[in-house]
Amino acid sequence: MPVFQSATFTFEGPENVRYARYNNTPNHEALHEKLTSVLATEAALVTASGMAAISSALLGLLEAGDHVLAQPGLYGGTLSFLGDLAPRFNIDHSFLPEEGPDAWAGAVRPDTRMLYVESITNPTMDVGDLEAMVAFAEAHDLVAVIDNTFASPINLRPAELGFDVVLHSATKYLGGHSDLVAGVVGGTEDALASIGATAKLLGGTLDAHACFLLHRSLKTLAARVRAHNRNAQALAEALDAHDAVAAVRYPGLPDHPAHERADRLFDGFGGMLSFDLEADADVDAFLEALTLPVVAPSLGGVETLVSQPLYTSHASVDPETREALGITARFIRVSVGLEGTDDLVADVTQALAVA
């Protein structure tokens, strides 16, 4: 696909005005077609970041006076949007009761319009009861929205389960090389019409070069994600067997609380995992001894990235909530990359030996 490095295009009539912010350049349209197929949705839209996808979707689908039921433990940017920005548009939210599906109906209000969830939670790696969530949204006439960034469309296509709108930070697995920032909204034609009109006004448009990079990345998405899955499974098993590790959270491990569900719904368990070092471990020594993984936020790229959510994604979360989630300095999140499996496991194992 060539790069159409142009903001505007020759006028071809009032029905067909091409302008980069309108998300209708040849680069956008080629991506939309490919993403519609990859996400298995009726339509798709590419945006300037994952947050542009999330904000365009929420503001495109909701009106002043609406209420959102949100899964607890969402991505921090989404939580800030719901908590800080949405109230300025008179959009309210509350959380889905953690007791499970039987308790959800009690949280629905007359003004509830949307259920908003994530396919795998960060960094606790929980997989919610996605089928029950879709059934619940249908029963209460709520638009069902899911952020599927962690699973990627190779491992899970939520539209096939009945979700109306699927969001991705394409900065992560879709882009795959930590060299672009982008987002994607997939969903029904109707939902995409309002979200697209909102995105046009919010202006979070992906530029032509980033469109080209994302388009190129999608060609290797399936091969990359399968390799992420393999490496993560191998690393999870090695960590699980190591004395310096107290616990591992990875849906591909048989003792993960949602292993059976993930096995049934997913085509792979993904490239993300988290683990706790033993109480007497030296976390700094472990991180310093790593030679292949890079200590950095973000995920979904070629290099294995390691972070301590206490200091990154959950730095501003109140200590009680962090404690309830088990997020201490010993809690490590890993975005498993595409290094040679043996090299990666050997490197993490030698770092554990000095922890």
Among 6, 22, 72, 77, binds ligand PLP (CB under 6 A): 77
Number of residues that bind ligand PLP (CB under 6 A): 14
Set 18, 34, 66, 75: catalytic member: 75
Catalytic-residue membership of 172: yes
Does residue 234 sit in helix, strand or coil? helix
Give yes or no for residue 181 binding ligand PLP (CB under 6 A): yes
Give yes or no for residue 149 binding ligand PLP (CB under 6 A): yes
50-61 and 189-202 are packed helices; what angle lies between their axes, rounded to 10 degrees? 110
Give yes or no for residue 169 binding ligand PLP (CB under 6 A): yes
Among 32, 38, 70, 75, binds ligand PLP (CB under 6 A): 75
Q: In this structure, how many other beta carbons lie within 10 angstroms of the beta carbon of residue 125?
A: 25
Give yes or no for residue 50 binding ligand PLP (CB under 6 A): yes
Give yes or no for residue 326 binding ligand PLP (CB under 6 A): no
Q: Tell me the residue nearest to ligand PLP as measured from the CB.
A: 50
Which residue's structure tokens are 């005005």?
Answer: 17
Give yes or no for residue 251 binding ligand PLP (CB under 6 A): no
Among 23, 171, 178, 274, binds ligand PLP (CB under 6 A): 171
Report in angstroms the alpha-carbon separations of 36 from 187, 188, 248.
8, 10, 35
Residues 6+ apart with CB under 8 A from 280: none
* Nearest CA among 10, 20, 46 for reference residue 31: 46
Going by their DSSP bridges, the two strands 272-277 and 245-249 should be labelled as antiparallel
- Least distance in Å: CB of 68 to ligand PLP? 16
Which residue's structure tokens are 């990859």?
Answer: 38
Stretch that binds ligand PLP, among 49-57, 98-106, 208-216, 342-350 (CB under 6 A): 49-57
Distance CA 207, CA 211 (A): 6
Set 66, 147, 164, 347: catalytic member: 147
Strand partners, 94: 69
Catalytic-residue membership of 21: yes
Give yes or no for residue 183 binding ligand PLP (CB under 6 A): yes
Q: Which is nearer to ligand PLP, 175 or 286 (CB)?
A: 175
Give me 281's structure tokens.
């471990």
Among 23, 27, 36, 49, binds ligand PLP (CB under 6 A): 49
Distance CA 97, CA 277 (A): 30
- Least distance in Å: CB of 341 to ligand PLP? 24
Stretch that binds ligand PLP, among 46-54, 98-106, 282-290, 328-336 (CB under 6 A): 46-54
Burial zone of 60 (CB within 10 Å; 0-12 exposed, 13-18 middle, 19+ buried):
buried
Distance CA 76, CA 81 (A): 9
- Least distance in Å: CB of 62 to ligand PLP? 18
Distance CA 100, CA 69 (A): 14
Task: Assess contact for 57 and 45: CB atoms under 8 A.
Answer: no
Catalytic-residue membership of 88: no
- Give the amino acid at 285: A
- Least distance in Å: CB of 147 to ligand PLP? 5
Give yes or no for residue 121 binding ligand PLP (CB under 6 A): no
Binding-site ranges for ligand PLP (CB under 6 A): 49-51, 75, 77, 118, 122, 147, 149-150, 169, 171, 181, 183
Hey, which residues are catalytic here?
21, 75, 147, 172
